[in-house]
Structure 1
Amino acid sequence: MKLLPLFAVLAGLAGLSGCQPVNMATDNLTATQPVAVNNAVSAAFIPRRADPWVYKADNGYYFTASVPEFDRIELRFSPDIAGLANAQAKTVWRKKASGPMSANIWAPELHRIDGVWYLYVAAGEAERPFQIRMYVLANSAADPMQGQWQELGQMQSALDSFSLDATVFSHRGQHYMVWAQQDAARSYNSALVLAKMATPTRLEAPEVIISQPDLSWEQQGYKVNEGAAVLIRHGKIFIAYSASATDHRYAMGLLWADENADLLDPQSWHKAPEPVFQTRPEFNRYGPGHNSFVVGDNGEDLMFYHARDTQQLQGSPLTDGNRHTRWRQIHWSAAGLPLFNDHLPD
């Protein structure tokens, strides 16, 4: 992984020849106003739902997220983005009474691979709540809110340790998984790991670390890289991720690799030295992170993420249920750089 100086990042992802510096305030494709769909402004789009994931299907959009009780997986559907806010949520799976998958049901993601629906989710055990591992469920129904969800077991990685936030993407016919994992031999809480997928339920060696929390802004409270989300555009594979403790210090960073690079070579990945999205008290945006990307109703790139409206917590960052789903549009510079417009309100 290559850490690039800020001037190189602003010059267009360092490595694109002939690029001009990006003006983060003016190189937008649309007016700098709060983004809305059918007058639904992005702030607190869905209250009390963290780690939001939106999947675009042929007939509309599916939404899932962590619920404050950490005890179930919900899905909701709408033919358009705005409708997700008030769509009826359906519980499609509940935690078990004991053993694996019986506590801390975190960050579910819905994917459709080869005609089958899959849910990737992190979970602990009632007896050991932070024995967090990645698990997978499958459903062969045409509609993931119907049919039966079958538990297919743990998504095994080479290192059997604290692991979570699995996300899946496809590039040139190959499926990859990115997840966050702890290594007891290292000083951090979690790093981002990448591997090819042999099947939707099995990883393929090698598994490589593409980012670890080695920057000061990634080490606030805890040394964390987690919550990866992938966006492939303009000849690049971008991975947004979240770092630090899950309070107001939580923030988002950005990795990228060239689409022709060997994605399993850590040196293929570049890393922005500063957060691309972070707390802004003037906008009542505290601890934004764990995002997902989706194409909107009109072909625009949207980012869903969670944030709190206040720095004050009810209990700990984990037990405080006031992380709310928000969204905003991602714009692009002429150099092909995603603009998160951190300086603008939601």
Structure 2
Amino acid sequence: MKHYLFILLAIVIACKSSDKPTPAPTPPVTTVDTVGKFQNPLLTAAPDPWVTYKDGFYYVMHTTGNNLRIYKTSAMSRLNSARPVTVWTPPATGPNSRDIWAPELHFVNSKWYIYYAADNNGNDATHRMFVLENESADPTQGTWVDRGQLGLPENKWAIDGTLLQQNGQLYFAWSGWETDLGGSQYIYICQLTNPYTVSSTTRVKVSSPDYAWEKNGFGVNEGPEFLVHNNKVFLIYSASFCGTDLYALGQLTTDASADLLNPASWTKSATPVFGPNAGNGTFGIGHNSFFTTPDGKENWLVYHANAASGQGCGDNRSIRMQPFTWKADGSPDFGIPAPITQWIKRPSGE
């Protein structure tokens, strides 16, 4: 009898225990604080990025191949929310009708200028630099006037042109062939009297693909971009063939007071300053640009990269950005390419 009562009591207790609500599952612990942060890429299918800042807005361009488009945004980390404005389409035929590459937007003497490379109906050997001009305060508005081909000295193959305003002078740097027969690419520089008129009678070669890390695929120095800091002028360029994963950034350095048209004024870093690749969705790193946040507190590197190995020079290249600092000697410290899985703090002021 006692045994029966014990069993009955156990059943009652079990039934009462089953009436208790099932506890809610414990939410997973979030190890990454994403508030105020972003992840790369900023834009997909966007090689050869260029960014400049004026009056509260960043203006961004990149290679499309068949037109010139400008993105306007007040927040670089939210670039994918901006809608591009097509400001120019090429003629059906002629010297600037095809392969519209690496456009850059510059503000000089109260006017906007776009420099771009183009060729004659797909004939790569005819690639030259061209210039457009706009008097509007906003480069996504107004009228773009065709200033024609930029008459670079010796009139050789030329791509990836960029402009520097320094010590009251205008300088133009680009990537070019030494002859008309192709082969290795070099960095040249010349002087301008105004944004669409060249004053130099000869082009000055300031960089050749000398090191092994500049010769993957074949010897390439291209995508030159000026960076001025304190009393130094840096020329950051892309090295090796963009079709390899080993595309990387190199660096030339000179004093701000030096003769920029004297090759002896420039010193080349013996190793890459950024890249070549870091895995984790960052392959074929190159063709960079820079910006400083409006409050002057942060410096940022903008560049393109592929998300996977072997994707080459096509539209798989996407725009990335990350902050950089300065070394004790005044040169830039770009760090290592950030994985696309990394959350990065948004630029100051965003």
Secondary structure of the residue that 2:279 maps to in structure 1?
Answer: helix
2:177 corresponds to which letter in structure 1?
Answer: Q
Q: Which of residues 71, 79, 83 in structure 1 aligns to 2:74? A: 79
Q: Provide the C-alpha distance between the structure 2 equivalents of 1:278 and 1:92, rounded to a whole number of angstroms.
A: 33
When normalised by structure 1's length, the TM-score is 0.83
Partner of 1:166: 161
* Correspondent of 2:177 among 182, 201, 221: 182
Secondary structure of the 2:79 match is: helix
AA partner of residue 302 (structure 2)? F
Shift in Å, 1:310: 0.5
Contact 1:104 1:130 in 2 (8 A): no
Task: Extract structure 1 runs of 4+ deviating beyond 6 A.
Answer: none
Deviations 1:215-274 (A, max 9, x none): 111111121111011111131101110011112121110111011211111111000011
Trace 1:182-221 onto structure 2 (pairs within 5 A): 182-184=177-179, 188-205=183-200, 206-221=202-217
Determine the structure 2 residue equivalent to 1:306.
Answer: 304
Which one of 320, 325, 331 corresponds to residue 331 of structure 1? 325
Matched positions, count: 305
1:289 equivalent in structure 2: 286
Please give the alpha-carbon distance, in whole angstroms, between the structure 2 residues aligned to 1:81 and 1:239: 23
Other structure's SS at 1:280 match = coil
Please say which of residues 206-215 and 302-311 is displaced more in the overlay.
206-215
- Mapped to 1, the partners of 2:259 and 2:74 lie a distance apart of 37
Q: Distance in 2 between matches of 1:47 and 1:344?
A: 16
The match for 1:26 is none
CA contact (8 A) 1:81 1:296 kept: no
What is the Cα-based RMSD across aligned positions, in Å? 2.0
Could you tell me how far apart the structure 2 residues matched to 1:38 and 1:153 are?
44
Q: Does 1:60 align with 2:78?
A: no
Q: Cα deviations across residues 26-47 of structure 1 (Å, max 9, x unaligned)?
A: xxxxxxxx9x994222x21111
Q: Match of 1:331, as an amino acid?
A: T
Flag the 1:229–1:127 CA change in 2: closer, same or farther, 3 A.
Answer: closer
Give the 3 Å change call, closer, same or farther, for CA 37–186 of structure 1 in structure 2. farther
1:169-212 CA-partner distances (Å, limit 9, x unpaired): 11111111111111118985211111111111111214311101
Task: Spell out the pairing of 1:122-133 with structure 2 (5 A cutoff).
Answer: 122-126=117-121, 128-133=123-128
**Structure 1 position 322, deviation (Å):** 0.3
State the match for 2:252 in structure 1.
255
State the shift of 1:143 in Å.
1.0
The superposition leaves residues 105-161 of structure 1 with CA deviations (integer Å, 9 ceiling, x where unpaired) of 000000111111100000012152442100001111111111111111111111222
Task: Give the corresponding residue for 1:232.
Answer: 228
| TM superposition shift of 1:343 | 6.3
Instruction: Give the counterpart of 2:114 among 109, 114, 119.
Output: 119
Q: Does 1:321 find its partner at 2:315?
A: yes
Q: Is the 8 A contact 1:37 1:81 kept in 2?
A: no
Cα offsets for 1:5-50 (capped at 9, x unmatched): xxxxxxxxxxxxxxxxxxxxxxxxxxxxx9x994222x21111101
Higher relative contact order (CA 8 A, sep 6+): 1
Which residue in the other structure is 1:270 paired with? 267
Alignment of 1:134-173 (within 5 A): 134-173=129-168
* Cα distance in 2 between the residues matched to 1:37 and 1:168: 37
**Partner residue of 2:238 out of 232, 236, 242:** 242
Q: Where do 5+ consecutive residues of structure 1 fail to align?
A: 1-33
Which has the larger Rg? 2
CA contact (8 A) 1:193 1:210 kept: yes
How big is the shift at 1:335?
2.2
- 2:218 is aligned, of 194, 213, 222, to 222
Choose which of 90, 97, 113 in structure 2 pairs with 1:102: 97
Partner of 2:334: 340
- State the alpha-carbon separation in 2 of the partners of residues 263 and 186 from structure 1: 27
* Separation in structure 2 between the aligned mates of residue 325 and residue 289 of structure 1, nearest angstrom: 10
**CA contact 2:104–2:115 (8 Å) conserved in 1:** yes
Contact 2:106–2:163 (CA under 8 A) maintained in structure 1 = yes
Unaligned runs of 5+ in 2: 1-31, 341-350
> Matches of 1:127 and 1:48 in 2, distance apart?
21
Q: Could you tell me whether the CA contact under 8 Å between 2:207 and 2:221 is conserved in 1?
A: yes
1:60 and 1:240 map into 2 onto residues whose CA distance is: 24
Q: Which amino acid in 2 is paired with 1:49?
A: A
- Any idea what the Cα deviations from partners look like across 1:286-334, whole Å, max 9, x if unmatched? 0110101111244211111100011133xxx34x310000011111122
Distance 1:115 1:189 in 2: 37
